[in-house]
Structure 1
């Protein structure tokens, strides 16, 4: 069974989308790295019409305020590196490069146990969707790399 180039390209678009989302996160972290995060957290809580002194908003404000500027910079660099990896993978899949097919299979398979654990420990529709999408991608890439042979 020969795989469809459209299927591999669909996986490439998914990977590029993940890269774009990660790029937006990296830019956001970079922008906020030089700002007072506690003040921003209070402004956000107030904007959402929540009481900053109540229990959960105060926990959020405290947690955000404890993040150091160097931690934000490291997170931004990590997100930028992840972006680069996803864009390279998307490019390779779009151009049907075999090594990126292997990379897509292996990198997706690595996440499966963690996604399964997340779904079991914090069940939500989102965790189910993420697991199912990744499972479909991993299975599809497996069949691209190891096509079924017709029996004689």
Structure 2
């Protein structure tokens, strides 16, 4: 005997809410990145950051700090406006996905599948190009989200007035 559609939707409510919270956390993080980027756009803030990084009295065995200083100097403060705008755009996409999933909207399931699935090839390339366990975890997590949401989105949904 098959379960009624309302029972199936109730089962998936927890999973959708969990994904929505994940999307909200990513959105909040990107908003913080955007705020920092917009702050670094100002020449004096950028110069202050460079000064602090160059004069930290930390032991830097692997040279990470100096690579960061070099990268930031190559970019200059003008690149941070673009970084802030891109971060806000992604934050808006993640917020839209998360809100729609939280409200259990059918369109949000497909929107999240398309948005998340479209980034999987880039994540795969980046993971194989410069492997890290964090990248692998994000890659596996995003594939799991896509598979889970495709399965839910293909099930019949009850139309709510």
- TM-score, normalised to structure 2, is 0.79
**TM-superposed deviation, 1:43:** 1.3
Per the alignment, residue 140 of structure 2 pairs with 132
Per the alignment, residue 110 of structure 1 pairs with 118
Match of 1:14 among 8, 15, 22: 22
Query: Is the CA contact (8 Å cut-off) linking 2:53 and 2:69 kept in structure 1?
Result: no
Query: Is the CA contact (8 Å cut-off) linking 1:27 and 1:76 kept in structure 2?
Result: yes
**TM-superposed deviation, 1:115:** 1.4
CA distance in 2, matches of 1:64, 1:130: 26
**TM-superposed deviation, 1:20:** 0.5
Per the alignment, residue 101 of structure 1 pairs with 109
Helix, strand or coil at the partner of 1:66: helix
Deviations for 1:20-72, whole angstroms, at most 9, x for unmatched residues?
01000001111111034354234124325257xxx765443232123243321
**TM-superposed deviation, 1:123:** 1.8
**TM-superposed deviation, 1:80:** 1.4
Query: Is the CA contact (8 Å cut-off) linking 2:38 and 2:84 kept in structure 1?
Result: yes
Per the alignment, residue 87 of structure 2 pairs with 79
**TM-superposed deviation, 1:112:** 1.2
| Greater than 4 Å deviation, 4+ residue runs | 55-59
Per the alignment, residue 61 of structure 1 pairs with 69
**Count of aligned positions:** 146
Helix, strand or coil at the partner of 1:99: helix
Q: CA RMSD in A?
A: 2.4
Gaps of 5+ in 2: 157-161
Deviations for 1:59-89, whole angstroms, at most 9, x for unmatched residues?
4323212324332112112211221221121
CA distance in 2, matches of 1:117, 1:48: 36
- TM-score, normalised to structure 1, is 0.83
